[in-house]
């Protein structure tokens, strides 16, 4: 029990539940990949524990070098990256594939939190914060990885609102966003445009651009209330459902564990996010407060978009379900982000004892 006292128990337990569900779903189709995911989880938990023990202020001294390293790695992806389905997102190091865009998320959370803890939310500073974000956003978008690029945008917006931006500036930003959304269509790749078109009318091309969305909704619906049982989901086991261990793992889980299993996962996410928001309210240090909001924005956005596209409410985007989807980089980056919250929690407890 002493170990539990060294980390935030609520975050630790909820994270373990989510990871265990992910490993269970992956195991039902591939014990080998489930074993790999378990190893990734163990490594992520070790990093979570280590980050939790470090005084939060120590990380602030490494923000800019870490930021420059991420920029360098994102450039290296274009030179030595491993191409998969037309995208360059991974760097192969030995037997492992590292996805730098995933590690950009905790680094950018720290950078923006530190920036806004020192700066008032003026128009000039908003523009400066965009200058920090844009290189990472652009390099990820060009891979192309629209899902991760949008997550970077969600982190920027979440922390910006945490910096208490005024209503007037918020209205101006919304107006600019509404103007730029139609213009962004010209920058999308053809397959990204097809995904949006297929979302609007998937039945117009059920064997082509609408296939993924149709198969995902069929998988979710076929699970009904109690599910078909582990390893018995026909959509995923017969591979009608694409990417059923990563982007569409929620649909695979809903098929095998039913409404109850899907509802449990959503409840766990809500519990984690609500608890983290309550922690943020207790933070006396503005950097701690903003870091927690950044991590909440990251997890909330990815979970919402992934589940939304799995059940047909949002266009399909290549985005993982945090702590559940198969993949080492995503899992470890999420554990690192949660470790930052646990570190902030311990640091805040120290402040309360001193005061």
Q: Are strands 82-84 and 96-98 parallel, antiparallel or unpaired?
A: unpaired
Is residue 291, in this structure, part of any structural domain at all? yes
Residue 204 within a domain: yes
Mark the ranges of the chain whose per-residue pLDDT is less than 50: 1, 355
What's the pLDDT score for residue 166? 82
Domain count across the chain: 1
Q: What gap in Å lies between CA 267 and CA 278, rounded to an integer?
A: 16
3-state SS, one letter per residue, for 192-216: HHHHHHHHHCHHHCCCCCCHHHHHH
> From the centroid of its chain, how far is CA 255?
23
CB of 122 closer than 8 Å to CB of 272: no
The CA-CA-CA angle for residues 136, 270, 324, to 5°, reads 60
CA-to-CA distance for 270 and 278, rounded, in angstroms?
12
Its domain, for residue 288, covers 2-349
Residue 24 lies in a domain: yes
Contact of 248 with 147, CB cutoff 8 Å: no
Does 157 reside within a domain?
yes
Q: b or e along 175-207 (b: 16 or more beta carbons within 10 Å of the residue's beta carbon)?
A: eeeeeeeeeeeeeeeeebebbeebbeebeeeee
Measure the CA–CA gap between 269 and 261, rounded to whole angstroms.
13
The C-alpha R_g of the chain, in whole angstroms, comes to 20
Give the pLDDT of residue 1. 47
Kindly state whether residue 270 falls inside one of the protein's structural domains: yes
The answer to the question of residue 354 being in a domain is no
| Cis, peptide link before residue 246, omega less than 30° from 0 | no
Q: Which residue has the tokens 């966003």?
A: 177
Instruction: Give the DSSP H/E element, type plus range, for residue 122.
Output: none
Query: What's the rounded Cα separation, in Å, for the pair 108 and 114?
Result: 10
Query: Nearest-CA neighbor of 338 among 4, 12, 66, 80?
Result: 12
Q: How far apart are CA 218 and CA 215, in angstroms?
A: 5
Cβ contact 299:318 at 8 Å: no
First and final C-alpha spacing in the chain: 27
Is residue 13 one of the residues assigned to a domain?
yes
Q: 247-256: b or e for each residue (b if 16 or more CB lie within 10 Å)?
A: bbbbbbbbbb
Which residue, among 308, 304, 282, 309, has the nearest Cα to 293 in the 3D structure?
A: 282
Kindly report the pTM of this predicted structure. 0.91
How far apart (Å, rounded) are the C-alpha atoms in residues 313 and 199? Answer: 8
Between CA 139 and CA 281, with CA 340 as vertex, the angle to 5 degrees is: 110
Query: HSE on the CB side for 178, CA within 13 Å?
Result: 6
Residue 355 lies in a domain: no
Dihedral sign for Cα 327, 328, 329, 335, please: positive
Q: Nearest Cα to 199, choosing from 186, 188, 210?
A: 210
**DSSP code at position 187:** G
Do 317 and 304 contact (CB within 8 A), yes or no? no
């Amino acid at each position: 029990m002493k170990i539990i006292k060294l980390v935030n128990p609520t975050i630790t337990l909820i994270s373990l539940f989510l990871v265990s569900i992910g490993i269970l779903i992956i195991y039902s189709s591939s014990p080998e990949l489930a074993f790999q995911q378990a190893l990734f989880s163990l490594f992520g938990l070790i990093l979570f524990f280590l980050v939790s023990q470090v005084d939060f202020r120590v990380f602030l001294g490494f923000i800019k070098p870490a930021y420059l390293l991420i920029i360098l790695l994102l450039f290296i992806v274009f030179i030595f990256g491993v191409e998969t389905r037309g995208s360059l997102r991974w760097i192969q190091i030995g037997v492992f594939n590292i996805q730098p865009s995933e590690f950009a998320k905790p680094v950018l959370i720290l950078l923006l939190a530190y920036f806004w803890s020192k700066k008032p939310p003026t128009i000039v500073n908003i523009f400066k914060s965009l200058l920090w974000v844009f290189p990472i956003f652009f390099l990820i978008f060009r891979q192309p990885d629209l899902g991760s690029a949008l997550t970077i945008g969600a982190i920027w917006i979440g922390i910006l609102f945490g910096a208490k931006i005024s209503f007037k500036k918020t209205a101006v930003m919304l107006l600019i966003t509404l103007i730029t959304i139609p213009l962004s269509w010209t920058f999308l790749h053809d397959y990204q445009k097809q995904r949006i078109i297929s979302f609007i009318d998937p039945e117009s091309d059920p064997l082509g651009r609408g296939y993924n969305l149709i198969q995902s909704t069929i998988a979710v619906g076929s699970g009904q209330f109690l599910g078909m049982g582990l390893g018995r989901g026909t959509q995923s086991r017969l591979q009608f459902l694409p990417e059923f261990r990563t982007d569409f793992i929620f649909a695979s889980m809903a098929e095998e564990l039913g409404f109850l299993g899907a509802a449990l996962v959503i409840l766990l996410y809500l519990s984690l996010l609500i608890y983290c928001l309550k922690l943020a309210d207790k933070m006396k240090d503005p950097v701690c407060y903003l870091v927690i909001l950044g991590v909440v924005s990251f997890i909330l956005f990815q979970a919402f978009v992934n589940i939304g596209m799995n059940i047909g409410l949002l266009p399909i985007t290549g985005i993982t379900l945090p702590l559940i989807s198969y993949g080492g980089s995503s899992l470890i980056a999420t554990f690192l982000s949660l470790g930052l919250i646990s570190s902030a929690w311990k640091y805040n407890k120290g402040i309360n004892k001193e005061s």
